[in-house]
Every structure is written in C-alpha cells, then in structure tokens.
C-alpha cells in the first residue's frame, strides 16, 4: 500500500437516473456507495466519501463546498483533505462505476508509482478518451484544480491532458458508468 487516500465522489444530482445512484443495488448485494468504498479498501490507506448525503460507518464523508458544480470541486476537496492529513495523492473513483474492479485500480496505482509526480488516469482502449474520475491526483495539483473550479470551464477532462498524465488503458466495461435506468442492464 502507498500513501494514497481513496476517494469516492458521490455528489452528483443523478437527474438522468431519477434517483440517487449511490443507493442503487449492486449485483454484489450492497449499494453502489458501499461497493465503491469496498473496492478501495485494502489498496488505499484510508477512504473518504466526497459529496452526497449518505454515510457509511467508519468512512468519513465530506460535503461538497459548492453542490452541483461538477466533479472538479470534489477532487479539490479531497486533495485539500489529503494534504492536511499527510497523503501524497488521491485515488479518485466515482460512485457510478459498478464494473470497476480493485484489480483495475491496482494497475492504475502501479503505473502511477513509476511516475508519482504526474497524475495517472484511465482511458478506454477503444475511444482513448481520458477518464478523469478514475484517476490518481497528486496533492500538489490542488491549486491548479482550484483555479479550474473558479473558472467558467470546470472540466477535469480538458485540464487533465495539460498535466501530462500517465495514461492507463482499462477495459471498456470497467469504465462504463451508470447514468440512466437502462444503463443498469449492463451493470
């Protein structure tokens, strides 16, 4: 294990789903929030939840300082927490990635450990699109990301390439998020 803080982003509106995605039932028998926290257990020293209203015993939940402003604010909140608590980076995942596995995250960590001064992020092998919500962000990027949060363009996906990340190919199925009720069929 390294000095990574495991972060589950859970602050979205879930407007396309029509209900809170964190409380959807995962095929493992627990809700999506518990599943997302469980996959970080054992590969990160500590786990936190950023955003959302639901809690899990033993895992600290931090409110988004500005609700519904996109995931960049959640990442910055996690990086600030990590910096205050002696972590060098945050392994960030979203609550709505039911097929992402602990092995996928271990692969991401291995690549990041080879170049720990760069962010590391997943990419789909087919469309090569960076996935900023399956990523490792070093804490020293919090000021750059804070500027993103205060700009009209709060896109992590547009910022990430400027940080020259280590890009890790992951299975398309692992990166498929659940946004609409029909997406649950593939989960």
**Residue 1 has what pLDDT?**
45
Q: Which residue has the tokens 């960030």?
A: 92
The pTM (predicted TM-score) of the whole model is 0.92
Phi, psi of 9 (to 5 degrees): -85, 125
Contact 174, 99 (CB under 8 A): yes
Domain enclosing residue 141, as ranges: 4-186
Number of structural domains, the chain?
1
| Residues 67-85 pLDDT 10s | 656 789 999 999 999 999 9
Per-residue tokens: 175: 């990166």
pLDDT exceeds 60 at position 15: no
Distance of CA 147 to the CA centre of its chain: 19
| Residues 32-70 pLDDT 10s | 899 999 999 999 999 999 998 788 999 999 988 766 567
| Residues 88-101 pLDDT 10s | 999 999 999 999 99
Per-residue tokens: 118: 């760069």
Three-class DSSP category at 44: strand
Rounded to 10 degrees, the C-alpha dihedral 75/77/80/82 comes to: -70
Q: Between vectors from CA 92 to CA 106 and to CA 128, what angle results, nearest 5°?
A: 75
**Residue 187 has what pLDDT?**
59
Per-residue tokens: 84: 């205050």
pLDDT exceeds 80 at position 169: yes
**Residue 127 has what pLDDT?**
84
Question: In CATH, what number is assigned to the domain containing residue 9?
Answer: 3.90.550.10
Per-residue tokens: 92: 């960030």
Q: How far apart are CA 138 and CA 129, in angstroms?
A: 21
């Amino acid at each position: 294990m390294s000095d990574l803080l495991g972060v589950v982003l859970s602050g979205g509106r879930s407007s396309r789903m029509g209900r809170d995605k964190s409380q959807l039932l995962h095929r493992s028998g627990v809700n999506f929030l518990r599943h997302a926290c469980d996959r970080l257990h054992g590969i990160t020293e500590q786990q936190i939840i950023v955003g959302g209203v639901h809690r899990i015993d033993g895992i600290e939940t931090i409110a988004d300082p500005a609700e519904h402003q996109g995931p960049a604010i959640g990442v910055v909140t996690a990086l600030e927490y990590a910096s205050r608590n002696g972590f060098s980076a945050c392994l960030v995942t979203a609550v709505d990635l039911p097929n992402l596995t602990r092995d996928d995250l271990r692969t991401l960590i291995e690549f990041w450990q080879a170049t720990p001064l760069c962010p590391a992020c997943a990419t789909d092998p087919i469309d090569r699109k960076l996935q900023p919500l399956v990523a490792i962000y070093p804490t020293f990027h919090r000021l750059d990301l804070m500027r993103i949060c205060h700009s009209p363009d709060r896109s992590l996906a547009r910022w990430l390439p400027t940080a020259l990340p280590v890009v890790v190919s992951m299975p398309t199925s692992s990166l498929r998020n659940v946004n609409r009720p029909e997406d649950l069929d593939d989960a």
